[in-house]
Chains A and B, each alone.
Chain A
């Protein structure tokens, strides 16, 4: 019994368990799930698809993990910010008011950086509200949740802007000659940069300290508000990057649809990753695994005939199960139940011993 508990206590247990479960279901349903082939010089296969399409969620999950860890709150604006950054990028590349172009008005990298910058600005806005004005994170991010998409729509003059310029599609699809989808590289890059930042500087330590006990952190010399602000800024930048990737996939900026429902997915990824939504210690690897698990769930549901509009039902149920299991009330109830069971068993065995002794 205790060895089982040791296993379940490991930080990565929950995400790995869920991932393995989903993969098993897939393999049972379609035995060729794990097959990977190279066609037309690029990798094909269900698995590749999951890794590719899950990139946005993984990138978002990185930023969301930090926000949850430092402030015990969630950033629900990430989906809308993705849309805003996509629109900003496409507007820069096409020029304002132009809805389809084959020529770029500015170098591609400038447009992309602009989009990411927009994401950063949104993150800074959220960070200010939360860290300086001490507004609840969910409420503060509510504002951009409403407004960012609308601003994006305005930037693109209320139309879908198409960038029909071949290299622009590379980011969300494939760079000629490289069989691995580019998005995977981007994700690896983001994860690498953030991980380096967390490990090579004291940032990881500070975030956890502030998240666990911000008063003690302050006494020890850490500026809680600066760290909090930084986390929201990073989250905004991640949303910006994810938006550019999403835009590149469809070589356009579809303000109404880019990033739609991605905020739930990112929060779900963090929760599935074994991170407590109450803040404190965090595990980036868990969130990444959680992100790809969610993508796997979405893909599985799609394969089973559940449309993207209907999939949220399953995800909602999963979210509820996870938070209920994590809830202190539930844990206390489980403890009293197991204590009672142990006591009953002890009473039984002592009763049996008495009987045997007689």
Chain B
């Protein structure tokens, strides 16, 4: 007796997660296209505008990857903005005020990220405290420590640390055929910065980790059903702790990229950054309930939020607040979309 296979439902439903990713990519393309059309005269359609998106948001890309990993387990990490501020302040203070060399500082920042993540991860994974509360405490701790280190804004100048300064201003030129002539008749060769390479590398590595390592797959399993994961013999507590360590580590990498961009440290830096990271992940198709998500989507999520910011800045007349509102509205839309999808799925059972 042959067992029938439920094909139609499978094909339709299998796309619900890919559907979210598709919506994201289409949304980005549409938004960018609109930008090109409206602001063609302001040079929006130049390749460099797109590359600038990557340059400005290199830090956010790294953080969003980490955020995706944490959200896959069903958790959340709202300490990332403050951690970046703390990292930037450490770098700025260390190089600018104390005159320390940059390599040890960079290593210190990465180590701090690991320790920070370990503490948060322990509280979430082993003490089973709500991730929100833990990372909120982490957020306020890091932001406060930033002020403890120094309450003023510090810039990293060339005299402070020549190596770091050089890295920050390094341009990596792309092949000349992508160039264009500007209004003054000069050939502009598009370029990116080292931070972009780092960010894209991070995306690639995390993509591979999520798809091809046991740790990566266990993130999905834990997020899908924690009780089932326990039954199947996975060490859920350890997996969760590692997710937070990874997130804070990537956040530190992101902090370095961010610092390369801003070349300063201040208490007010990266405020609201965590919202951008969460929004990027959610828009990129990561479910808040866990178990679904991928870093490619998050990359596009970052590009979308970045495009919104660029559209607002290019306009010049709109306040930057509009970017915040637009991001929040988009986040709201995607959250409701996810909840509607979940509701429909439950209904069809």
Contact = CB atoms under 8 A, between A and B. Distances in A.
Interface in B95-143: 123, 126-130, 132-134, 136-141, 143
A37 interface: no
A285 to B, nearest CB: 23
A71 to B, nearest CB: 13
Interface in B267-286: 267, 272, 275, 278-279
Interface stretch (A52-60, A147-155, A339-347): A147-155
Given A133-B339, A134-B339, A309-B144, A158 B137 contact: no
A133 B134 CA distance: 25
Given A146-B328, A309-B151, A323-B134, 4 more contacts: A267-B133, A310-B144, A316-B137, A317-B137
Contact of A277 (B133, B146, B278): B133
Nearest to B340: A133
B324 A310 contact: no
A57 to B, nearest CB: 15
A260 to B, nearest CB: 9
Chain B interface: which size bin?
A: 35 or more
21 contacts: A136-B289, A143-B332, A145-B275, A146-B324, A146-B327, A147-B328, A149-B324, A264-B136, A264-B140, A307-B147, A309-B143, A309-B144, A310-B148, A312-B144, A314-B144, A319-B137, A320-B137, A323-B137, A327-B127, A328-B128, A330-B127
A139 interface: yes
A329 B339 contact: no
A277 B130 contact: yes
B289 to A, nearest CB: 8
A76 B136 CA distance: 10
> Size class of A's contact patch?
35 or more
Contacts of B134: 320, 323
A142 interface: yes
B319 interface: yes
Q: What DSSP secondary structure best describes chain A's contact surface?
A: helix
B90 interface: no
B180 to A, nearest CB: 34
Contact of B145 (A135, A277, A313, A320): A313
A313 B332 CA distance: 31
B151 A312 contact: no
Interface string A326-353: 0111100000000000000000000000
Contact of B128 (A150, A261, A313, A327): A327
A139 B288 contact: yes
A146 B321 contact: no
Interface string B137-165: 11111011111100100000000000000
Given A134-B339, A135-B339, A327-B127, A150 B328 contact: yes
A313 B143 CA distance: 8
A24 interface: no
B322 A135 contact: no
Contacts of B127: 324, 327, 329-330
A267 B136 CA distance: 10
A139 B138 CA distance: 18
B282 to A, nearest CB: 9
Interface in B194-212: none
Contact of B133 (A135, A153, A323): A323
Given A140-B335, A147-B329, A150-B321, A329 B126 contact: yes
B236 interface: no
